[in-house]
A and B are shown apart, each in its own frame.
Chain A
Amino acid sequence: GAGVSQTPSNKVTEKGKYVELRCDPISGHTALYWYRQSLGQGPEFLIYFQGTGAADDSGLPNDRFFAVRPEGSVSTLKIQRTERGDSAVYLCASSLMSLGSGANVLTFGAGSRLTVL
């Protein structure tokens, strides 16, 4: 597609429920990133994929968070047993991973706003 697409744009759920957030990257982009942006803060790195594999998941806050990218394109961020503190905007980005040829430039989606009641 023309840009990074994220669905849903808004999700309201109750504490303890399971949530899935989807990201459809720019066609041909090999790298995909998830960031979390809490109110009044800058985005924080969660995980990134190179192809189908998670290359770095050091930003996932705990084992309730999990992400997959089974075919190397669309990715799903999964949050189990949601807590009120998980409320944030979850941003997805993609890039042409170009190690050694300059800055790896990310293109961000509009985000999925998650509210946990």
Chain B
Amino acid sequence: AQSVTQPDIHITVSEGASLELRCNYSYGATPYLFWYVQSPGQGLQLLLKYFSGDTLVQGIKGFEAEFKRSQSSFNLRKPSVHWSDAAEYFCAGGGSSNTGKLIFGQGTTLQVKP
């Protein structure tokens, strides 16, 4: 069955430190992959997406993600975290039919220490 897994429920990093949020997927073919961020009371905001081509994708707010087919992973990274990055992050996958029907991971809550 298709699935998206975020192994880390909660992560705490110090402001200015680097960040990596993990995402693993299970799909029959290469899926479309997305990272969204959700702040309290806000909708989901798209950070970046991957659907083909360069496996390192750049997104908004200084985030990037790398698609690794051999590891079935699409980890999100940021070299230096800001206090405003504290939020919940969701990885999502869409099938090759590209209908927009997404499977989301459980989410990772990021806490930033001053």
Contact = CB atoms under 8 A, between A and B. Distances in A.
Contacts of A45: 101-103
A42 B106 contact: yes
**Chain A interface mostly:** loop
B51 interface: yes
Contacts of B99: 31, 48, 55-56, 97, 99, 104
Interface in B59-114: 90, 92, 94, 97-107
A79 interface: no
B28 interface: no
Contacts of A3: 43
Interface stretch (A14-22, A67-75, A80-88, A108-116): A108-116
A67 to B, nearest CB: 14
Contacts of A99: 97-99
Interface residues of B, number: 29
Contact of A42 (B41, B43, B90, B101): B90
B66 to A, nearest CB: 17
Contact of A41 (B36, B51, B106): B106
A40 B62 CA distance: 26
Contacts of B103: 45
B32 interface: yes
Nearest to A98: B98
B49 A105 contact: yes
Interface string A27-56: 000010101000011111100100000011
Given A91-B44, A103-B51, A110-B41, A44 B98 contact: no
A55 B99 CA distance: 9
Nearest to B42: A110
Given A43-B90, A108-B44, A111-B43, A100 B98 contact: yes
11 contacts: A4-B43, A31-B99, A41-B107, A42-B4, A42-B105, A43-B104, A48-B101, A93-B100, A103-B94, A109-B43, A110-B43
Top-8 shortest CB links A-B: A42-B104, A104-B100, A108-B43, A108-B44, A103-B51, A103-B32, A110-B43, A103-B49
